[in-house]
Amino acid sequence: MPSPFPGMNPYLENPIFWSEVHHRLITAIADSIEPYIPPNYRVAIEQRTYLSDDSDSILVGIPDVAVFSQKSVASPTSATATIVATAEAIAVTIPVPEKVRESYLEIREAGTGLVITTIEILSPKNKRTGEGREAYRKKRKKVLASLTNLVEIDLLRGGKPMEILGEAPVTDYRILVSKGDRRPQAQLYAFSLRQAIPSFPLPLNERDIEPIINLQNLFHGVYDRARYHLAIDYTQKLVPNLSEVDAVWVDELLREQGLIV
């Protein structure tokens, strides 16, 4: 059964599904572009690894200081009260750093290993304060300071978008295509929940023919192969929440397709 949405399926933004979606979509992009890039290039799936910090932790409500009980006992031989502390251990929870691995693509020259293009799909940790965002920002700055092309795909409504100078439209999703030889200028594909995911040219070297990435078809293929229609409960509330107007639109769309009653 195909996805009921014309573009991004917002139910797959839920953390329950997103890690798998990210992995499958990265692989689908890599496989789809391989036949269309020059024979001296190869597509590599790389990983960025870091430990999440406290603000990134899934553990919340952690006390900063353990509080111990105290009992006051008056001394029978003195007019001055003496405080006798009896410390009893209490159960607390501490934040344990989480080892995070995020996959991305690099198109490289086979002979030199030179990175021609980097393709990133943003994760929730990249879009909220914490080590995940800082790790990606450092990588992003390094790429933007070089001649490597950058494709940055943001299919998550939640969190804070990555920085763009000047005014940019406020939309649900974004795809940024930044060619290394045309910076600081870049192309931004901004689209909403109600729109199809736009196709875009994959930047390579200036002399190369740029293949067109039909991300919408790739996404629908991922949805079908993973059989997400068997896993998603369309009667549940979306995570993150929708605006009131979009919530009405989603409700009508799902009712028309018989997914809710």
The torsion angle over the Cα atoms of residues 229, 235, 236 and 239, rounded to 10 degrees, is 60
Residue 93 lies in a domain: no
Domain that holds residue 200: 10-60+98-256
Alpha carbon distance 121, 126 (integer Å): 10
Residue 91: pLDDT over 60:
yes
pLDDT at 80: 54
Within a domain: 237: yes
Our count of domains for the chain comes to 1
Residue 100's pLDDT is what?
87
52 near 131, Cβ under 8 Å?
yes
Model pLDDT, residue 72 = 42
Mean pLDDT to the nearest integer, 169-180: 96
Report yes or no on 3 lying in a domain.
no
Whether 48 and 104 have beta carbons less than 8 Å apart is answered as: yes
| Residues 21, 27: Cα–Cα separation, whole Å | 10
The verdict on residue 36 lying in a domain is yes
Give a yes or no: residue 84 inside a domain.
no
